[in-house]
Amino acid sequence: MSGHDRKFLLGLYERMLLIREFEDTVKFLFLEGTMPGTIHQCQGQEATAVGVCAALGADDWITSTFRGHGHALAKGLTPQEMMDELFGAETGCCKGRGGSMHMGNMSKGMVPGIAIVAGGIPLAAGMALSFKMENKPHVVASFFGDGAIAEGAFHEGVNMAAIWDLPLILVCENNLYGASTHVDLVMKNSRISERAKSYGFRGETVDGNDVLAVYEASQRAVADCRAGKGPVLLELLTYRRTGHSRRDPCHYQPKDEREAWAQRDPIERFREQAHITAEEHELINTRIQKMLADCVERAKVAPHPSVSGLAEYVFVEAPPRSPALNVQNPVVSAAGSTRRLGIAEALREGIAEEMAADPRVFCIGEDIGVPGGWGGAFTVTLGLEKKYSERMINTPIAELGFFGLATGAAMMGMRPIADVQYGDFLFLASDQIINNAAKLRYMSGGTISVPLVMRAPVGATGRGSQHAQNMERYFTGVPGLKVVAPSNAYDAKGLLKAALRDGNPVLMFEHKLLYGSKGARAEGGAVDASSDVPAEDYIVPLGKAAVRREGKNVTVLAWLLMVHYAMQTADELDAEVIDVRSLNPIDWDTIGASVRKTGRAVIVEEGPITGGVGAEIAAGIAERWPSVRVTRVASPDVPVPFTPVLENAYRPDANRISAGVRQILEESHG
């Protein structure tokens, strides 16, 4: 015990005992049916949480898992705010929105627990990336279990942390079981720390039931990270004395194994090592028991959230940074000017302007920051690496990983733009988008914001089924995620700027056939998505549709490429064309004003008709204005074909839109 004063040693002991007693109290409350939900407890693993967190500073951070009660108490959360959270109270650390599996408090350096196995690792790497980019001396410790090693999120997050020497401590609590499966059944090499070598950094295996050994190893890891030598992988060998979750009787754990680990109980071991006297133990234990008893009584009567607050904390409501213009269509002051730009040019200009205005803005993705490289798959970021080399972060082919890093960096206040080469690859990143970026604000009780922009090219362009899908349908129904789809250069730049200033995760879909400044050729005629773009600063507000043409007979609702095909038919049929452009939230005011006037709506969508965005818009119109006749023009329910003759038959064009409009006009006239 040399080198550690008595106060420090007693502090470690009290924190471990608090975790044990808190968990035992919670277990009893769940067994008697007092608490809602479920629990994943950590009795037997107290030394890992306490040892690691004791080595961290007040400005350092942790990410946790569904088994996070011990981590929370070790990082400084109070038993009261945690007990309140477990009871679902508004006074809980996440205002009752997180519960047991999402315990955390951002003001105390703990991100709410990530319940998806390994899902917190890319987030933590992104947090560490933000600290490095802003030259902050902070460290992130990411807790995860041995089961996380098999996940792709582990590899992708760890690999990028290694590439950029990020200040990240990877804390593997190896308790020998992933749920009920022993590590030896799922790993050829079960010495997890050895994996660090393959990534090029240091790993260390530590007795996770020896709190001082964990503390000293964590101190070394923190020192390495602060010196720019991170990351570090700590494998902490430990054992949980309870089941995976509250109804697990642990029959898969052999009796002799349980007994052997019971002899290595971290609290009893440390009590002997530190020579904790009976009087000291009794004083500490009495204090803890009284505290917990009081916590339970207060939690039982703590106020619960009002039902009227169900939809609170989904989005940040703060207004964006004030621009010179805030308009739907180009308006330029007398001193201003417009230029004819294509979508790719307009996006590039918008990114450059936002980078110049805000040092927190950076781009992350594949093939975007290579000198002499592509500038992304469609040249949108071409040349930006010359001026902003440190903010054009080129990644491995690892969509799950770099979308997770972008989310973690956004949580720390950065303004990332995550660039996926093809929208089809969003499926790889969907866990980080849906479970983390979109949900963290809500499940933290409104204490987290994720100001993240994600860009994704879509559309059938002769590339076959896995590089040509329209992905809008899969993301418009995700609570906490905004979705936009510009059809022209003016909107593309304005929506991008609005998204970067919005404070929420925004997914921007861009059609591949609309990038070119002089228009792109597609079946059905020439399509020109270029437009006059002001030199002045402006935004296109999120959640607003645009009337592209006024008409009397029918309302045609479209977005992306389909807007241009709709315009080709509008004059002949006197159709009012609405560019929906904001797919979540949808501008029902603009849509309603039009369909109430015309009494008819044709919704045009590139993508399979079943379950599409058009179906949601049709349902919304039917619910709000039942007298309006609605029909849809969309792609058939088949994967996108390659051969041009079939691809052109797959994607709606001007002729099919015209036919759909004529049909609804004929039906309404009887």
Active site amino acids: 399, 467
DSSP per position, 555-587: EEEE-THHHHHHHHHHHHHTEEEEE--EEES--
What SS3 class is residue 489?
A: helix
Distance of CA 254 to CAs 182, 185, 315, Å?
Answer: 11, 15, 48
DSSP state of 455: E
Q: Which residue has the tokens 């989904």?
A: 314
Q: Which residue has the tokens 């074909």?
A: 641
Do 266 and 209 contact (CB within 8 A), yes or no? yes
DSSP letters for 97-143: SS-GGG--BGGGTBPPP--STTTHHHHHHHHHHHHHHTT----EEEE
Residue burial 451-489, b: 16+ Cβ < 10 Å; e: rest: bbbbbbbbbbbebeeebbbbbbbbbbebebbbbbbbbbb
Q: Which residues contact 638 (CB under 8 A, 6 or more apart)?
A: 608, 650
CB atoms closer than 10 angstroms to residue 358:
14
Separation between Cα atoms, residue 46 and residue 269, nearest integer Å: 12
CA–CA dist 497, 264 (Å, integer): 57
Please tell me the distance from the alpha carbon of residue 629 to that of residue 622, in angstroms, as a whole number. 8
User: Are the C-beta atoms of 581 and 559 separated by less than 8 Å?
Assistant: yes
Is 555 within 8 Å of 600 (Cβ atoms)?
Answer: yes
C-alpha dihedral (636, 642, 644, 647), degrees to nearest 10: 10
Which residues does 27 contact at the CB level (< 8 Å), separation at least 6? Answer: 39, 41, 242, 246
Strand partners, 203: 233
Q: For the stretch 14-46, what's the b/e string if a residue is b when 16 or more beta carbons lie within 10 angstroms of its beta carbon?
A: bbbbbbbbbbebbbebbeeeebeeebbbbbbbb
Q: How remote is the C-alpha of 23 from its chain's centroid?
A: 30
